[in-house]
Chains A and B, each alone.
Chain A
Amino acid sequence: MKSLIYTLFIASALIFLGACSGGTDETSQAGAADADILKNTPKGQASVVDNESAPNILQVAIGSPDHTTLVAAVQAAEIEHVLVNAGPLTVFAPTNAAFEKLPAGTVENLLKPENKQQLATILTRHAAPGSYAIDDLKKEARKGRKLYMATGDYLDVTVEGDDVYINGIKVLASIQTSNGIINVIDEVILPKSE
């Protein structure tokens, strides 16, 4: 009797499973809808809305009229999320004037979609893990330490008088942000040609 009941139970269960399997179509339709939903969800930390915290590196850069070229380049290279990451990060931020010092056509060329990777590499060479404001850079120079950049390069840090230089480029000002430091420079850091 026990086994009969068991068989009956299994049979009933199977019948009902079968009866309900008509739902598969709906499921797959829902699957397509899900894919749409996923496509429309926010893309990364750069899209987090937060008007209360201290501004991060990206927010400060976007707010600076002297850095519109840099911001355009960051967006073209699609590395915004790096600049809002927990970091900490020190970004050497070339001014618009710095980009203008490059040979004519360089910036326009780099902004082309096919040069995205090259642009990203150039920009990444402007970022160092850690927080280094001008006073910290002076300490680095004093202690004879080089600055390790996110691309793997080491930059020389030197002091002349009251000023501090990165690979010979003068650091004009430091801005504290919520996730690191922006150091304003008026030249683009290019790889050493040796």
Chain B
Amino acid sequence: MKFFNYLLLFAVVGAVSLTSCNTGSSKKGNQGALGGNLAERVYVAPGEHDEFYAFISGGFNGQLAVYGLPSGRLFKVIPVFSVDAEKAYGFNEETKPMLNTSYGFIPWGDLHHPDISQTNGKLDGRWVFVNENNTPRIARVDLTTFETEEIIEIPNSAGNHSSSYVTDNTEYVIAGTRFAVPVPQRDMPINEYKGNFKGALSFLKVDPETGEMNIAFQIMMPGFDYDKAHPGRGKSHGWFFYTTYNTEEAHTLLEVNASQRDKDFVAAVNWKKAEEYIKEGKFETMKTNYAHNIYDEETHSAKTIWEKEVKILDPSKLPGLVYFMPMPKSPHGCDVDPSGEYIVGSGKLSANVTVHSFTKMLEAIKNEKFAGDAYGIPILNFEDVLAGTVVQPGLGPLHTEFDGKGNAYTTFFISSEVVKWKLGTWEVVDRKPTYYSVGHLMIPGGNSQAPFGKYLVAMNKITKDRYLPTGPEVTQSAQLYDITGEKMELLLDFPTVGEPHYAAGIPADLVAPNSKKYYKLEENKHPYATLSEKDTKVVRDGNTVHVYMTMIRSHFAPDNIEGIKVGDKVYFHVTNLEQDYDVPHGISMIGANTSEMLIMPGQTETFVWDATAEGVWPFYCTDFCSALHQEMQGYVRVSPKGSDVPLKWSLDDE
């Protein structure tokens, strides 16, 4: 035992030293003397910009964070499925509807997989789509405002994990079902799962101009767990591939009962065929109820539309729609290479990484060479579709991305490393440790036909000693690797907000020039907007009072309000009159119990304040807007119920 300890220690120290000094020497080889400093390769000088945006999901915090690469600097946290104090998201009246679902208002969610919109298989930098895993939803984040513009709920689904990836021309963004459920939901014994539960695969059509989504159809699959997915691209455009596990259809102790079969499946879905069936009317219309929340940039407000039905396709009755390709051992990652030929499946419990061939799949389908069927869906022979195997590359393979130069990079959770291997020859080229236990990895454009193979970001599940400790809960962590050389080089650790579950990266010059600077007042269509100080007013309607307020450096108008009575519900509709980049104002009211707000130039936002007690109550600007920011304040006088103090509002007593 002692001897073993000693060996282990030696190995660890050895590995550490090899890593640190290897990095140094190979760097010199690559970069010459000037590149001899790792720090310099991730250093972005003051005032300079990063080369890439990285949109890194916050996992369980339900948000999407925007970082720069190579610096790892955090720029913005975009609230999507969770309320957020910084943006008043989910607190102010305008954004509350964004979090409506058929289950009610849900204050937080579990955001997993960002994917950037594409045109002709290349990143176009218009939108980022993200999925909510827990209460199934897909959201669209606009990359001119960097705000969430749309959230659509996915009915008949649970555990929306195999999502939210886009096709070559963003024709569709997809959602899937990890936890099969009764469809429609009903009261039934859990142990009657097998054969009765279903796994819906949803296809959301994306409007090419506005980006607006709608559920075009759902394919009602057998009750397996649909874990991960990727679109076909290039030659396989028109198909979508999903890994499945629990083809055993176990309903309890899945760690044992869902690991019985030697192979589960990759489901290959022909969505162009699905479109044909829809056109031919071979679908059933199912009544349902789900929220479709849209934020309008001109009214600065969100509204919820309640959608009532969805089109269902039954793959057991519609030939050519779905095929199953056997894949070893509860596969997780399902990744398609830039050419669209290779479908990489990572069996969590497999010693190998298995790669299937799209060409061979088509051939087998053409020859109708099937090994059997599952619930009427044809199963292809494993050997017929197999392209190759990466033999024993590591332990616990999860996800694969591509550099566009013929290399694939796979993460291994158990052996805590990224392994680089060659498409076609399946030989391992390099391996680098991660600190620790990597989940997803991201190469900018790695989900497209044209990856930008310069950096790789590894997103780790465990951090332990990598940063200064902060009690039992330590920061989450990502790591940046340079992948331009034959060997990968670890450049940087950087902490992340929430779980860095997955990410999407894009060159900054495809996004930055489109970034909006402010909202134009003349385009403000908010129903309570006040576009000039002379239009400010206070209007009473029973116990409800509407304050039409403006803000400009460095005062509110009005800043004195009288005639409010105890029991009134006071809506402050506040418009920022500035028309200048980066001049937000904030507003906060003592006892504010719905929202404090940060309002961008040209924007209108609303919070509700309950007048609960007599007195004179101050409000103030919460954003250091100007040299006279501290002077930006005002008062609301609250009189007793039934008092005859008239409603009055003023600025400078006028």
Contact = CB atoms under 8 A, between A and B. Distances in A.
Contacts of A180: 553
B160 to A, nearest CB: 38
A26 B517 contact: no
Given A54-B579, A88-B553, A178-B578, A26 B33 contact: yes
A62 interface: no
Contact of A37 (B13, B45, B552): B45
A41 B45 CA distance: 8
A86 B17 contact: no
Interface stretch (B57-65, B377-385, B620-628): B620-628
Interface in B609-633: 625-628
Interface residues on A, range: 35 or more
A48 B21 CA distance: 42
Nearest to A88: B553
Contacts of B46: 38, 41
Interface string A1-29: 10001001100110110011001001101
B13 A53 contact: no
Given A87-B627, A88-B553, A130-B628, A30 B580 contact: no
Contacts of B20: 16, 20
A53 B517 contact: yes
A129 interface: yes
A19 B6 CA distance: 23
Nearest to A1: B2
A41 B47 CA distance: 6
Give chain B's interface secondary structure class.
loop
B37 interface: yes
A179 interface: yes
A78 interface: no
Contacts of A126: none
Interface in A39-90: 41-42, 48, 50, 52-54, 56, 85-88
A139 B601 CA distance: 27
A163 interface: no
Given A88-B626, A179-B553, A12 B17 contact: yes
B48 to A, nearest CB: 7
A178 B47 contact: no
Interface string B39-69: 1100101111000000000000000000000
B9 A88 contact: no
A36 B599 CA distance: 38
A96 B438 CA distance: 67
Which of A15, A27, A30 has the largest count of B CB atoms less than 10 A from its CB?
A30
A87 B24 contact: no
B567 to A, nearest CB: 36
A15 B21 CA distance: 12
B13 A52 contact: no
A73 to B, nearest CB: 22
A129 B627 contact: yes
A53 B581 contact: yes
Given A5-B9, A53-B518, A88-B553, A38 B37 contact: no
A87 B628 CA distance: 8
Contacts of B590: none
Which of A12, A27, A88 has the largest count of B CB atoms less than 10 A from its CB?
A88
B627 A9 contact: no
B391 interface: no
Contact of B39 (A1, A15, A30, A131): A30
B21 A5 contact: no
Interface string B12-34: 01001100110010000000011
A38 B43 CA distance: 12
A87 B21 CA distance: 52
Interface in B586-645: 601, 625-628
Nearest to A5: B9
Contacts of A88: 552-554, 626-628
Contacts of B553: 86-88, 131, 179-180
A173 interface: no
B554 to A, nearest CB: 6
Interface of A: 1, 5, 8-9, 12-13, 15-16, 19-20, 23, 26-27, 29-30, 33-34, 37-38, 41-42, 48, 50, 52-54, 56, 85-88, 129-131, 139, 178-180
